[in-house]
Chain A
């Protein structure tokens, strides 16, 4: 990758004898929306907070905007925006006051009102932060990360605890960050969120990256299809023209290219006058791939 904004090699982090992050490599390119996906406790927040300069690593090489975050500088801090997983603003200041306060920290901030408008809080700009709903507080958090006009924005589980409509709104907002040309480093444990937002996804499990790539191709997802149907009465698996296995009450044929086996199957059924009840062809969802990858340890 040319000009990576985030570059990580062999990153490790141990808490006492427990190794939370066990040698991961990551690259995030400029202008990319990158989703870091994994179950709770997999090492997402630890990794993110090392990149943000909050935690010290045990081993490995890390570069964020060309700087080692273990030695953050004021200039570097002005180029990144951070939305923490759980933080509340000063509850007695209004939305407008809080955004204006943060704008003052940066050398070339974005206009305050425009930033408030961008996160959809214009109607609440005069409200005290302590009186905002959970979703609105999160938007204010995003506004505070945006107002310094950073190149890179970290969003740690930005929609956890949201109702579905608040999540949709947030997705639109994050999509708008991409349009501003920002690089976004997003952590989430929602597959649909990664699928809706990310250009690239890495899945972390037990401190190791188990898959990485375009969400459409992850885990060979694009290269696999499943043909499912119910066996006609009096027909066994061995009678079928293609190799199939039982899958619950139906049978399934896993193939890379479904057209030829599907034609063979339907020709065979037509010739013999069988009906193929519940016939369908599907690709695994990102969720299937994710569950497969993250639950391997348990099964």
Chain B
């Protein structure tokens, strides 16, 4: 098979494997939907102060899309690749004629596919249950943020997998990286009232900029296509950093082999 066809084959098996992995499906796909249902049900009727009168439920949709993109790409790849590496699945594959780019492309494309599917589900849940309009004029901004975010967080996830020493440490290390960022990045609640130093920290990392870029498509004040070039530039910059780190440090075997 050609490298392209093998990448397609890898997408197929990576998807099957992902959908049969209960923790991955729950934390990656179901939890963001569950969060949207709970948050919007509890806080959804009011409006958010200082965001042009956006409804609470309309604020949660882009916030949880950001969380969903991070969980289906970064968390999924960082954890999944560690399991495959430590169980020597990667080592085994390295000993076959499967080209490395076909394997990586298969995993990354699967993660991006999950992010897109989850985004569609969150948009539909928001529309059907809470009357949150799906962006029209600003749809290009939403789609671009989704694609740039998914690609960047895939690169970061592959790079981050090399920082996780073993399978047992995986969830703890990965969650230690993303959970604090979710809280300070406006994913769960607006952070414009947070102390300046906390916002300064959040500004350094890509989660807040992804959330900002997605929110722009839902912000009633937005005019034009809703593309947050500045935020997306920072997300893409992190992605490029992740790509370089991934290429330089990726390991096919457990340490010492």
A residues touching B (Cβ–Cβ < 8 Å)?
Answer: 49, 52-54, 74-75, 77-78, 80, 82, 84, 86-93, 97, 101-102, 104-107, 128, 141, 144, 148
Contacts and interface: CB of A to CB of B under 8 A. Distances in A.
Given A92-B16, A93-B17, A104-B1, A84 B99 contact: no
A54 B87 contact: no
A17 to B, nearest CB: 16
Contacts, number: 69
A86 B88 contact: yes
Given A93-B13, A97-B16, A105-B1, A88 B96 contact: no
Contacts of B99: 74
Interface in B81-100: 84, 87-89, 91-92, 94-99
Given A87-B87, A104-B1, A104-B9, A92 B17 contact: yes
Contacts of B97: 74-75, 77-78, 105-107, 148
Nearest to A141: B92
Interface residues of B, number: 23
Contacts of A104: 1, 6, 9
A82 B92 CA distance: 8
A90 B253 contact: no
Contact of B96 (A77, A87, A92): A77
Interface string B16-35: 11101100000000000000
A89 B89 contact: yes
Interface string B101-125: 0000000000000000000000000
A94 to B, nearest CB: 9
Given A54-B91, A106-B97, 16 more contacts: A54-B95, A80-B95, A82-B95, A84-B88, A84-B92, A87-B88, A88-B87, A90-B17, A90-B89, A92-B21, A93-B17, A97-B16, A101-B13, A105-B1, A105-B96, A105-B97
A82 B94 CA distance: 10
Contacts of A75: 97
Nearest to A106: B97
B92 A87 contact: yes
Contacts of A86: 88
B17 to A, nearest CB: 4
Contacts of B1: 104-105
B257 interface: yes
A264 B177 CA distance: 84
Contacts of B9: 101, 104
Nearest to B88: A87
Contacts of B91: 54, 84, 87
Contact of A105 (B6, B17, B18, B21): B6
A5 B20 CA distance: 41
A49 B94 CA distance: 12
Contacts of B96: 77-78, 82, 102, 105-106, 148
Contacts of B92: 82, 84, 87, 89, 141, 144
15 contacts: A49-B257, A53-B95, A54-B95, A77-B95, A78-B97, A84-B88, A87-B91, A90-B13, A92-B17, A92-B18, A102-B96, A105-B1, A105-B6, A105-B97, A148-B97
Nearest to B9: A104
A101 B7 CA distance: 11
Contacts of B84: 90
Among all A-B residue pairs, the 3 with the closest Cβ atoms? A87-B88, A92-B20, A82-B95
Given A54-B253, A87-B87, A105 B16 contact: no
Interface in B50-107: 84, 87-89, 91-92, 94-99
B77 to A, nearest CB: 15
Nearest to B98: A105
A191 B99 CA distance: 38
Contacts of A80: 95
Contacts of A54: 91, 94-95, 253, 257
A91 B13 CA distance: 12
Nearest to A89: B89
Contacts of B257: 49, 54
A83 to B, nearest CB: 9
- Tell which of A52, A88, A89 has the most Cβ of chain B within 10 Å: A88
